[in-house]
Amino acid sequence: MSILTVNLAENSYDIHIGSGILPNLGTLCSNLGLASHAAIITNPTVNNLYGSIVKTALEKIGCTIDTIEIPDGEEYKNSETLSMVYDRLIESGLDRKSFIVALGGGVVGDLAGYAAATYLRGIPFIQIPTTLLAQVDSSVGGKTAIDHPRGKNLIGAFYQPKLVLIDIDTLSTLPTREFRAGMAEVIKYGIALDGQFFDFLEQNSDHITAMEPDVLASIVGKCCELKAQVVELDEKESGLRAVLNYGHTLGHAFETLAGYKEMVHGEAVAIGMTLAAKISSSTGFCSDPEVQRIHAIISSFGLSTNIPSIEPKKLCAAIATDKKSNGGTINFILNRGIGNFSQNPYTPEELLTLCGLEV
């Protein structure tokens, strides 16, 4: 097991990464002074797979447990589901000495984290991500949110977990589509932050696709390390942290217009990165061979690079609701070659023009 610390002064916490470490949860929580009453927020699929392990680990330290299941799917990361969670927390009698355990993928982590941030003005929570996407991205950094019909993650808060516990073994039960979607976030780190990591992904694509445990542990650890470095410098996204949104401005727009149903987050981000590379090339930040490498690595993990058939005016309106919008322009993340980035302001119309779409 490896331990990585996210250093944020009063909000610092550890990320534990390893194989078969879910049973360690009770001891880790006890060490943090969390041992009274916990609500495990999860979905039915994950609960059936790992709920009993987590519950047993917490019961061993004398913790009272309530399990709250939410429906599986991004379309349920909304105010209605959040309200149901609040009802259950109140009915279960959780107080300020209680804590929440987010057991699942990004939807569970985002919604459970926002519930923790707002219930009784904030109670502690633990992240146990069980998807690749959540392990390398959404579980680390304290972004919590729910979606709105007009945009993804528009309602949320920065609220750091007390602990992130990443058991690589949970990836063995992950559907192929979800694993591929998680690889989009992995690739993001290589393109925008670390060229050597990008090279590693290119050279080890077969081992990664085969889900070899040592390789998976290595890439999860590297992504968490890169994200922790960014979050430590810019916890609340006032500048540098925006780099983690590479591919997300257009990706979120595609997700919103698809009603959070037709494509999963990573699939949308993959297309967003494809277009970001194209825009970077048109502005002189990225060469054609580098764009080809980006397209190739995305495709090598079974992700599409094709733009969905969406009316440009609707896409333009969806981009305009992006959280990085400022005075009508979007702080768009470009890649400078492979392994570096730049931030440029564009209007939604300019972005679509650079993508080859006319509004």
**Residues identified as active-site:** 121, 143, 185, 227, 237, 241, 245, 248, 252, 265
Residue 71: count other Cβ atoms within 10 Å of its Cβ. Answer: 13
Strand partners, 59: none
Q: Is 130 helix (H, G, I), strand (E, B) or coil?
A: coil
Place of tokens 């709920």: 51
Give 206: exposed, middle or buried? Use CB within 10 Å, 0-12, 13-18, 19+.
exposed
User: What distances in angstroms separate CA 57 from CA 4, 38, 65, 209, 338, one per listed residue?
Assistant: 22, 12, 11, 31, 43
**Is there a contact between 142 and 228 (Cβ–Cβ < 8 Å)?**
no
Euclidean distance between CA atoms 222 and 204, whole angstroms: 14
| DSSP run (H or E) holding 343 | strand 341-346
Strand partners, 3: 16
Place of tokens 């993340």: 333
Euclidean distance between CA atoms 138 and 127, whole angstroms: 10
Burial 4-18 (b: 16+ CB within 10 A, else e): bebeeeeeebbbbbb
Burial 248-279 (b: 16+ CB within 10 A, else e): bbbbbbbbbbbebeebbbbbbbbbbbbbbbbb
